[in-house]
Amino acid sequence: MPDATSVTHFHANNGTALSLDVERRQGEFHLQASLTLPGKGVTALFGASGSGKTSLLRMIAGLDRPDSGTIRLGEKTLTDTRRGIQVPPHRRRLGVVFQEARLFPHYRVRGNLAYGLHPSMRSRVDAIVELLGIGHLLQRLPATLSGGEARRVAIGRALLTAPRLLLMDEPLTGLDGARKQELLHYIDQLARDIDIPIVYVSHDPHELTAIADHLVLLDQGQVRAEGRLDVLLNRFDLTEHLGGFDAASVIAARVEMHDIHYALTRLTLEDGQTLSVPRLDASPGQRLRLRIPVRDVALALTEPRDISYRNRLHAVIQRIEPLDGSRASVELGLSVSGQALRARLTRHALDEMGLDVGMPVVALIRSVAFETR
Amino acid sequence: MLTEAEWQAILISLRVAGTAVGGILVPGVALAWLMARHEFRGKALLDGIVHLPLVLPPVVVGYLLLISLGRQGWLGQWLDAWFGVTLPFTWQGAAVAAGVMAFPLLVRAVRLSLEAVDVKLEAAASTLGANRWRVFFTITLPLALPGLLTGTVLAFARALSEFGATITFASNIPGETRTLPLALYTLIQTPGAEAAAARLCVLSIIIAMLSLLVSEWLARLARRRLRERDSQR
């Protein structure tokens, strides 16, 4: 992952980039968005319920039309209200994975997968079936599938249409924790294995940090912020939207080795500093993303000897800002190995320790705090 | 076992009802789909017109058919001039009368079952590249099949039992428009034909029961196809 301050490739000119400028009123609700989404990776449309993210997705898919505006995918105009263009959903070549899977109850899994099969995908059916782990379900009817299985079939069905863009509308809704984690893993695998940009609608900060590369933050029908995930996660003014109390930052690291005895995995940062996390299913050399909740980071002025925190990273304080809505706490922006890390302290601790911008500190991170991609 | 007149009445009845249902099936499903999936001006009015035969005295419907489709009627003259088709006093005319009377039942049943089909599935199909026709024939219609079967059988039964509009528009001509109900009516009017009337009455009951059984069987078949549990599980 490149360093956290560059945002250049977000708006890079790309053949399949999605650009839109739309406006739509629905009763009291007013949605107004102007965006260019990158032509690769996972872009999250993120916001509370009622923020307009699903409306936006439906307009992109062609299921709703904006009152005014344009939607373009690469060179192709999908919607242009002024010129009277509204390409119908079946000719947009966009894969859509809906919240409720929406499998056809009268077709078996095989029939569902074949429904929109594009000739160019015929040779890849087996690979996608295997990637999603649905090979043993092919003869089953949708009514007999579990929630997670149905979602995977729905993802496969959308992929086999050879879409130019995959739209996913909160595909983890209604799944329990373990199933959620499992499906996230499949989606993540997918995002890396296939070369199709994904637009992922979500309201869950955990899902966001787990799979998104880019982020569009929607709030009451307006785009509040857009950009690279790691950059936006470090914008203190967005804390309220991006997890609030449970806000987190992400940092990239490389797997160095596994410690079999203690069942730990050691990771290294760019500058050689190391971290230990409970053993991960990843091979040495692999790049990972770690989610570190702001409340799980403590600071020390010198490296402490008698403390149970195993992960100690040398960092420099970049910013100190008050936390909206809390007189007791402050947010700190740290720089660790060229990446941004956030910490939340009490104002009392800040003053007693005499912390200030530019000071070197040791960031103590609880091992169990890691969440990985 | 059956007399020639009885056979004749049965065959005419089946031919008239079969033609009537066959004729209204496609327009009925199309209209039901239009009403189930679209909002348009005059929808309530159209709905009312479709349901008129259900609430009007059948004789009134027959009379309306006579003045529009009769030899002197505006539509009848046109049919006669262009296609040489005359409907009054023919079995085709009886089929038209039966079809008009059965139409609202078909549209109602089909519309209800179409409305029960989740439009979200149709939207999903369209995002998978299916155009309207494909969505209709691969998603909407198969999922609405039980209702379509019920509607068809209902319409068929209604067409079989049609009396008032038929006798008004197509008259009661032996071997041409004398269906079972008309034959029964004729026997009731004839002194000393009580036994023959009773036979026709039993026949009518048997045919009605048979069509109900067939409809039940078909609907069960369709439902099983939809909800089939996987044997390989």
A119 compared with A278, residue with greater pLDDT? A119
> Which has the closest alpha carbon to A40: A61, A58, A57, A15?
A15
Rounded to whole angstroms, how far apart are CA atoms B159 and B94?
9
Say whether residue B127 is in contact with chain A using an 8 A CB cutoff: yes
Rounded to whole angstroms, how far apart are CA atoms A309 and A331?
21
Distances in whole angstroms, Cα of residue A234 to Cα of each of A296, A318, A367: 15, 11, 21
Quote the Cα angle for B221-B225-B227, to 5°. Answer: 115
> How many beta-carbon contacts under 8 Å exist across A and B?
69
Res A57: pLDDT:
93
A367 pLDDT exceeds 70?
A: no
The most confident of the ranges A121-135, B59-73, B116-130 is B116-130
State whether ipTM is beyond 0.85.
no
A12 pLDDT exceeds 50?
A: no
E-only strand ranges, A27-164: 29-37, 42-46, 68-73, 76-80, 85-86, 94-97
A301 DSSP 8-state letter? S
Residues of B in contact with A158 (CB under 8 A): 127-128
A8 pLDDT exceeds 50?
A: no
pLDDT for B90-100, tens place per residue? 999 999 999 99
What mean pLDDT comes out for the span A361-366? 88
A177 pLDDT exceeds 80?
A: no
The residues facing A265 across adjacent strands are A258, A277
pLDDT for A198-246, tens place per residue? 999 998 888 888 888 899 999 989 998 898 888 888 887 787 777 777 7
Give the strand pairing for A198-202 and A42-46: parallel
Average pLDDT of every residue of chain A: 86
List the single residue in A102, A144, A157 with the smallest CB-CB distance to B120: A102
State whether residue A82 is helix, strand or coil.
Answer: coil
Q: Encoding tokens for residue A45?
A: 């449309």
Predicted confidence band at A368 (pLDDT cuts at 50, 70, 90)? Answer: low
A13 pLDDT exceeds 60?
A: no
Say whether residue B120 is in contact with chain A using an 8 A CB cutoff: yes
List the single residue in A140, A144, A161 with the smallest CB-CB distance to B128: A161
A327 compared with A109, residue with greater pLDDT? A109
Alpha helices for chain A (secondary structure H) = 53-61, 109-115, 125-131, 147-159, 177-193, 205-211, 229-232, 347-353
A81 pLDDT exceeds 90?
A: yes
> Which has the closest alpha carbon to B24: B115, B150, B117, B151?
B151
Residues of A in contact with B226 (CB under 8 A): 105-106
pTM, 2 dp? 0.81
Residue A34, phi then psi, degrees to nearest 5: -135, 115
Residues of A in contact with B121 (CB under 8 A): 102, 104-105
Q: Domain residues of chain B, as ranges? A: 4-231
Rounded to whole angstroms, how far apart are CA atoms B229 and A71?
43
Rounded to whole angstroms, how far apart are CA atoms A58 and A79?
12
A32 pLDDT exceeds 70?
A: yes
CA distance A121 to chain B (A): 13
Quote the Cα angle for A97-A98-A104, to 5°. Answer: 90
List the single residue in A61, A98, A104 with the smallest CB-CB distance to B139: A104
A16 compared with A66, residue with greater pLDDT? A66
Distances in whole angstroms, Cα of residue B107 to Cα of each of A39, A175, A332, B35, B51: 48, 40, 68, 9, 9
Q: Which CATH code, of 1.10.3720.10, 3.40.50.800, 3.30.1360.20, 3.40.50.12160, is assigned to B4-231?
A: 1.10.3720.10
pLDDT for B47-59, tens place per residue? 999 999 999 999 9
Residues of B in contact with A112 (CB under 8 A): none
Task: Answer yes or no: do B128 and A157 touch at CB < 8 A.
Answer: yes
What number of other Cβ atoms are within 10 A of residue A99's Cβ? 17
**A23 neighbors A68 (Cβ within 8 angstroms):** yes
List the single residue in B121, B131, B227 with the smallest CB-CB distance to A102: B121
Rounded to whole angstroms, how far apart are CA atoms A196 and B47?
47
Which domains, and CATH codes, for chain A? 18-236 (3.40.50.300), 248-372 (2.40.50.100)
Say whether residue B230 is in contact with chain A using an 8 A CB cutoff: yes
- Rg, C-alpha atoms of chain A: 22
A5 pLDDT exceeds 90?
A: no
Say whether residue A136 is in contact with chain B using an 8 A CB cutoff: no
Least confident of A292-301, B207-216, B224-233: B224-233
Predicted confidence band at A305 (pLDDT cuts at 50, 70, 90)? Answer: confident
